[in-house]
């Protein structure tokens, strides 16, 4: 997965996507999702993650750029929508419905709907089929949405903050469901989340959107094994090669500097400490820190 | 599209009980004075107004963006609402007809029941009620798509008021032109009302599609 290399191996390709609102610009986003992979989309609130997803799904009209699923525009064929499962943050069914009635509505909507699989998921997630949704906790509602999204044999799952309402135990179970889903090499997941531990557990790639721009899209392993945080005093910070700095932030007694090659940084700036960088660390340094212009 | 209709029917079924009691209350109030015809017309109008309630449910549950990620187009979404509108109107007419006939029969044992029964046969009243209601309801759909169900609740009154105004203007114009509205002419107009409703609702459907095609979620 990378930014915008066009091959038939990609399920979703976004090229130079631009969308402008008053006070916000989604600026020429290019992103592609290869088959069999999980992409984590991270960024601060208002960075443009949901706008990217909604534009891809044609819920928001793009100003320019191209978005293709399996090489076709989403509006060109109903089959494309059959193959995409989406879970938004929050339930989309009126709360007097029951999971059983919801299943009937979806069965009448999707030609690929698998009622048996839906029942299996309801059982697996311990959701009572005949209880009104309004009696469900937020976690149960999320599980219902995930069950619905997985029961029409999608090949691409798009999750917009979908796991945010779940407790850690249930989140872990759901993440296992997602990992099972991508065992089929034809399946992929695009997952926007603030819970970086979830992404660290399952994502293959991390795409970071900041202030409407895609800052990077890298493999999780590259971030985990190469990125580091160099911590040093002011006098050392002044001497650091600026080309080594991705972002930096002044703390009370030290400077935290995000570097792309922590081993190189360890060798080059020997007296300094270089720690591993978590996704949260990277996000915080980019968002709250500064970048060399 | 079947799923969209089913969703609205499931959602509104929750309100069906209260609507049933409202219609029964209206039966007691209106049947003695308006007869089956008048009551049927009232039932059809009331049930037609429930279309705006379905928009409220949709907004409350943030349904529309979800519907649009299903294998349905924006045109399907609009068409679904018009089908639901016709279902609601037809249900109101049917209920009004049955409850009206039964109620009139019961009421006639105690009071004298009047109404336009001699002028308008029941079948014609049913057709005209359906046509008039769907014309009014059909106008509330683009208004609600454009302004949302909160404002739509107020605008539904407008959508029921505007066709009445148009009818009144036509009536005045006919008077000016020296055309007298005889009973035969009114009956002819009522027979033609389904055609008028079809044309009107097709125009409203196209307007709704245009409004929805521009909306973002």
Predicted TM-score (pTM) of this structure = 0.86
Look up tokens 């033609």; give the residue: B192
Q: Flag whether the ipTM exceeds 0.95.
A: no
Query: HEC states along chain A?
Result: CCCCCCCCCEEEEEEEEEEEECCEEEEEEEEEEECCCEEEEECCCCCCHHHHHHHHCCCCCCCEEEEEECCECHHHCHHHHHCEEEECCCCCCCCCCCHHHHHHHHHCCCCCCCHHHHHHHHHHCCCCCCCCHHHCCHHHHHHHHHHHHHCCCCCEEEEECCCCCCCHHHHHHHHHHHHHHCCCCCCEEEEECCCHHHHHHHCCEEEEEECCEEEEEEEHHHHHHHCEEEEECHHHHHHCCHHHCCEEEECCCCEEEEECCHHHHHHHCCCCEEEECCHHHHHHHHHHCECCC
- Find out whether B143 and B155 touch, Cβ atoms under 8 Å: yes
Put simply, whether B9 touches A (Cβ < 8 Å) is no
- Chain B residues within 8 A of A100 when measuring between CB atoms: none
Residue-level pLDDT at A77: 82
**Residue A18 φ/ψ region, left for φ over 0, alpha for ψ in the -120 to 50 degree band, beta for the rest:** beta
Put simply, whether B83 touches A (Cβ < 8 Å) is no
Contact between A88 and B66 using a beta-carbon 8 Å cutoff: yes
- Find out whether B137 and B159 touch, Cβ atoms under 8 Å: yes
Judge if A203 and A252 occupy the same domain. no
Last residue of a domain, one of A172, A205, A222: A222
User: CA-nearest residue of chain A to B15?
Assistant: A96
**Domain annotation covers residue A1:** no
Please tell me what DSSP assigns to residue B70.
Answer: S
CA-to-CA dists, residue B133 to A83, B45, B88, B123, B193, angstroms: 39, 5, 10, 15, 11
Minimal CA separation from B163 to chain A, in Å: 32
Q: Which of A92, A94, A100 to mutate to test the interface with B (most CBs of B within 10 A)?
A: A94
In a 3-state reduction of DSSP, which class is residue B115? coil
Judge if A86 and A147 occupy the same domain. yes
Judge if A81 and A191 occupy the same domain. yes
- Chain A residues within 8 A of B216 when measuring between CB atoms: 54, 59-61
**Which residues of chain A, if any, have pLDDT below 70?**
1-8, 293
Contact between A59 and B216 using a beta-carbon 8 Å cutoff: yes
Nearest to A206 by CA among A193, A245, B89, A276: A193
- Residue range of the domain that includes A284: 227-288
- Find out whether A139 and A165 touch, Cβ atoms under 8 Å: yes
The rounded distance, in Å, linking the Cα atoms of A68 and A8 is 11
Judge if A99 and A167 occupy the same domain. yes
Last residue of a domain, one of A222, A240, A261: A222
Contact between A110 and B71 using a beta-carbon 8 Å cutoff: yes
Residue-level pLDDT at B120: 64
Contact between B65 and A59 using a beta-carbon 8 Å cutoff: yes
User: CA-nearest residue of chain B to A109?
Assistant: B3
- Find out whether A104 and A148 touch, Cβ atoms under 8 Å: no
> Residue A64: CB partners within 8 Å, gap ≥ 6?
A16, A17, A18
Residue-level pLDDT at B158: 79
- Find out whether A232 and A255 touch, Cβ atoms under 8 Å: yes
Residue-level pLDDT at A115: 96
Residue-level pLDDT at A8: 67
Last residue of a domain, one of A167, A188, A222: A222
Judge if A167 and A248 occupy the same domain. no
Judge if A234 and A185 occupy the same domain. no
- CATH number of the domain encompassing residue A150: 3.40.50.300
> Residue B55: CB partners within 8 Å, gap ≥ 6?
B144, B145, B148, B149, B152
Residue-level pLDDT at A3: 45
**Domain annotation covers residue A4:** no
Size of interface A-B (CB pairs under 8 A): 78
Tell me how many domains chain B contains: 1
- Residue range of the domain that includes B77: 2-214
Backbone angles phi, psi at B148, to 5 degrees: 85, 160
Tell me how many domains chain A contains: 2
Nearest to B102 by CA among B44, B48, B24: B24
CA-to-CA dists, residue A20 to A215, B86, B214, angstroms: 18, 40, 15
CA-to-CA dists, residue B99 to B37, B84, B211, angstroms: 11, 22, 38
Look up tokens 């539904």; give the residue: B156
Put simply, whether B4 touches A (Cβ < 8 Å) is yes
Provide the residue-wise pLDDT of chain B in tens; the chain has 217 residues. Answer: 899 999 999 999 988 889 999 999 988 888 877 788 888 988 999 999 899 999 999 999 999 999 999 999 999 999 999 999 999 999 999 999 998 888 877 877 666 655 555 556 788 889 999 999 999 899 999 999 999 888 877 777 777 777 778 877 887 888 888 887 787 888 888 888 899 999 999 999 999 999 999 999 9
The rounded distance, in Å, linking the Cα atoms of A15 and A31 is 7
Please tell me what DSSP assigns to residue B193.
Answer: H
CA-to-CA dists, residue A250 to A185, A264, A282, B172, angstroms: 44, 22, 15, 80
Judge if A81 and A45 occupy the same domain. yes
Please tell me what DSSP assigns to residue B46.
Answer: H
A→B contacts (Cβ < 8 Å), by residue, are 54, 57-61, 75, 78-79, 81-82, 84, 86, 88, 90-97, 101, 104-111
Judge if A211 and A237 occupy the same domain. no
- Chain A residues within 8 A of B61 when measuring between CB atoms: 91-95
Bridge partners, residue A21, by sequence: A24
**Domain annotation covers residue A130:** yes
In the β-sheet with A38-42, what is the strand arrangement from edge to edge? Answer: A84-87, A156-160, A188-192, A38-42, A205-210, A213-219
Minimal CA separation from B152 to chain A, in Å: 19
In a 3-state reduction of DSSP, which class is residue B120? coil
Token pair for A195 = 């819970």
Token pair for A174 = 């759901």
């Amino acid at each position: 997965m990378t930014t915008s290399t066009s091959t038939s191996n990609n399920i979703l390709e976004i090229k130079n996507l631009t969308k402008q609102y008053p006070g916000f610009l989604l600026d020429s986003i290019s992103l592609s999702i290869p088959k069999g992979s999980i992409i984590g989309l991270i960024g601060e609130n208002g960075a443009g993650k949901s706008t990217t997803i909604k534009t891809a799904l044609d819920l928001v009209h793009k100003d320019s750029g191209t978005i293709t699923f399996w090489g076709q525009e989403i509006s060109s064929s109903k089959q494309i929508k059959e193959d995409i499962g989406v879970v938004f943050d929050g339930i989309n069914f009126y709360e007097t419905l029951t999971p059983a009635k919801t299943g009937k509505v979806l069965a009448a909507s999707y030609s690929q709907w698998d009622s048996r699989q839906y029942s299996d998921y309801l059982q697996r997630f311990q959701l009572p089929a005949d209880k009104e949704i309004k009696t469900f906790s937020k976690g149960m509602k999320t599980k219902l949405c995930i069950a619905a999204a997985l029961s029409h044999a999608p090949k691409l799952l798009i999750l917009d903050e979908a796991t945010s309402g779940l407790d850690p135990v249930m989140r872990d179970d759901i993440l296992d469901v997602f990992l099972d889903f991508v065992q089929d090499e034809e399946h992929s997941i695009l997952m926007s989340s603030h819970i970086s531990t979830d992404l660290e557990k399952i994502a293959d790639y991390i795409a970071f959107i900041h202030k409407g721009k895609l800052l990077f899209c890298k493999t999780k392993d590259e971030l985990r094994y190469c990125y580091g945080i160099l911590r040093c005093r002011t006098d050392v910070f002044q001497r650091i090669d600026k080309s080594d700095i991705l972002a930096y932030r002044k703390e009370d007694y030290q400077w935290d500097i995000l570097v792309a090659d922590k081993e190189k940084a360890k060798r080059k700036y020997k007296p300094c400490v270089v720690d591993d960088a978590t996704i949260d660390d990277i996000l915080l340094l980019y968002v709250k820190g500064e970048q060399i212009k | 599209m079947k799923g969209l209709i089913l969703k609205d029917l499931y959602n509104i079924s929750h309100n069906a009980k209260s609507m049933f009691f409202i219609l029964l209350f209206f039966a007691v109030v209106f049947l003695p004075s308006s007869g089956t015809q008048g009551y049927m017309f009232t039932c059809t109008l009331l049930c037609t107004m429930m279309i705006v309630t379905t928009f409220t449910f949709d907004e409350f549950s943030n349904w529309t963006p979800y519907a649009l990620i299903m294998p349905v187009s924006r045109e399907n979404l609009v068409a679904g609402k018009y089908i639901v509108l016709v279902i609601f109107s037809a249900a109101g007419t049917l209920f009004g007809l049955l409850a009206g006939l039964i109620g009139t029969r019961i009421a006639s044992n105690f009071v004298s029941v009047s109404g336009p029964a001699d002028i308008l046969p029941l079948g014609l009243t049913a057709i005209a009620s359906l046509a008039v209601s769907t014309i009014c309801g059909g106008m509330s759909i683009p208004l609600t798509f454009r302004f949302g169900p909160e404002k739509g609740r107020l605008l539904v009154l407008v959508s029921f008021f505007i066709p009445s105004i148009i009818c009144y203007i036509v009536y005045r114009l006919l008077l000016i032109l020296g055309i007298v509205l005889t009973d035969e002419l009114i009956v002819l107009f009522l027979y033609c009302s389904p055609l008028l409703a079809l044309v009107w609702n097709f125009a409203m459907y196209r307007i709704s599609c245009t409004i929805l095609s521009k909306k973002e979620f």
